[in-house]
Amino acid sequence: MSALPMTATGKILKRELAHPPPARLDLRRRNMPNFSDFNLNIYLNGLNGEKPRYPVTCGDLEALAAEKLDPVLYDYVAGGAGDEATQRGNVTAFERWGIVPRMFSGAAERDLSVELFGRRYPTPLMMAPIGVVGIMHESRHGDLEVAKAAAATGVPMVASTLTQDPMEDVAVALGDTPGFYQLYTPNDRELAESFVRRAEAAGYAGIVVTLDTWSLGWRPRDLRHASMPQLQGLCLANYFSDPVFRSRLEKTPEKDPAAATFAWALTFGNPALSWDDLAWLRGLTGLPLLLKGICHPDDVRRARDGGVDGIYCSNHGGRQAASAPALDFLPAVVAAAEGMPVIFDSGVRTGVDVVKALALGATAVAVGRPYGWGITLGGAAGAEHVLRCLLAEADLTMGLNGYRSIADLSPDVLVRVP
């Protein structure tokens, strides 16, 4: 269907509004027009026959990314543990909550900013770590593309241990936006300490220790292909560039990449890691320390007593083990945290999901696969588009339902839906 002819009114609107001031587009600034202006801009651009360059829903993003990615890599990213019921449940769990509208609330302007570890962030969004995002972009520098999207939007990136570029290069690309470093704790303590020291020196704002990946989960899609990217030497830049790791090798990774990859396989993961090791982890850094994968209130209390600064409630997007949907764990985790920051991910696909997680007590909400599909389709620009879509929808959801700020969101604004 061809575009409708532009009316005189449309021409005036386009002339006056199609080129908004920079503040309209810069997510890093506070005291700015609402994030939902992105929604209006799409319609205004449509007056000139311009449609969004990338899809605006996660399903459409994934469908296009699936056409572009190698099928083996697509299955690695899209797949989950076992029959993938946990992965599906993470997404559908949001449908069991509805938002109660409140009218006459004066919510024409909204404040989506949050405070986290002494910093004020313009949005409650974060980008969760994706261990293969480095190879999801055609440049094979997807981690740098994610960092550029973070720099452009102010949405923090949680950089994985498993990156295609060293953490220092990723940190430079972040610009003024703080990043967090996600640690897969190796079974070599000196190597773990080296990773943390490097993250500190590179300027990361916190360390996120992932607890549920000391071994690979049962992933039928990957087993069907008998394929794992890291065993092909991919996304191991942090290891191959690390002086401690390199000191363990007879030959450098450049001279014998196969041997270096085998050494990684013997080093990755620490099945013996336990609560007895928390004091050691806490002692590694003065940066905020978060534990990722905490879902039980008793574990929250043990972490809090051990000096942890934040909880990252997540079941790894359903990729590692079968469990209940992660969203079902969130209220009890928040209650046990007693005011300690709680970051949530797993199953977040829309801006409405973001609002619901915030209402259930999350301090910040991390998104994973959706921005990964954006990286595949358009690098930093694709990921930035995804973030803007999520923020616009979250902003509109709050405004149209009558909530002016995240402080207005609480479990009372939600009802259970049969």
Catalytic residues: 316
d(CA 260, CA 250) in angstroms, rounded, equals 9
d(CA 351, CA 367) in angstroms, rounded, equals 10
Which residues in 26-163 belong to E strands, given as ranges? 97-99, 114-116, 119-121, 125-127, 157-159
CA geometry: angle at 101 spanning 95 and 107, to 5°?
Answer: 120
Burial class of residue 249 in the structure, from the number of CB atoms within 10 Å of its CB (0-12 exposed, 13-18 middle, 19+ buried): middle
Residue 361 to residues 81, 275, 329, 337, 354, Cα–Cα distance (Å): 27, 25, 11, 10, 11
d(CA 58, CA 37) in angstroms, rounded, equals 20
d(CA 41, CA 60) in angstroms, rounded, equals 20
Beta pairing partners, 157? 127, 179
* 363 touches 330 (CB < 8 A): no
Contacts of 229-234 spanning 24+ positions with Cβ under 8 A: 229/73, 229/76, 229/132, 229/135, 230/131, 230/162, 230/261, 230/264, 230/265, 230/268, 231/261, 231/265, 232/261, 233/257, 233/258, 233/260, 233/261, 234/132, 234/134, 234/135, 234/164
